[in-house]
Amino acid sequence: MIHKIPTLKIKYQRNNFLHKISKYYVDSYDTIFVEEIKIQNMVKNHHLAKLIYDFSWNSFFQKLEYKAANAGILFAKVAPHGTSQSCSNCGRMVKKTFGN
């Protein structure tokens, strides 16, 4: 007999966590921007690949988008290009190095 109960339990725990964290963000912010994440680029580091896959990014973003729409909150995905170099206050591009 194959034991699938622990796998299902982990699946439900993960799904429950994603619901809770997406609800937290929707309750805490009136505008939500997320970066369009390319999972394949993130898992090139094989030491972190399992953790990245386990988080279920797509499911998280779907839950976040759905809950934001129901609450009337602006939800938008932004392209990752230059996001770490644009000033959040004025929008001016500020060249940064790894030391900044």
* Rounded Cα distance, 18 and 36, in Å: 18
Residue 71 and residue 23 in contact, taking contact as beta carbons nearer than 8 Å: no
Cα end-to-end span (Å), the chain: 55
Residue 85 and residue 93 in contact, taking contact as beta carbons nearer than 8 Å: yes
pLDDT tens digit string along 15-52?
Answer: 999 999 999 999 999 999 998 877 776 677 677 777 77
Domain ranges of the chain: 5-78
pLDDT tens digit string along 43-80?
Answer: 776 777 777 777 788 899 999 999 999 999 999 998 87
Q: SS3 for 26?
A: helix
What's the whole-model pTM score? 0.69
CA R_g for the chain: 17
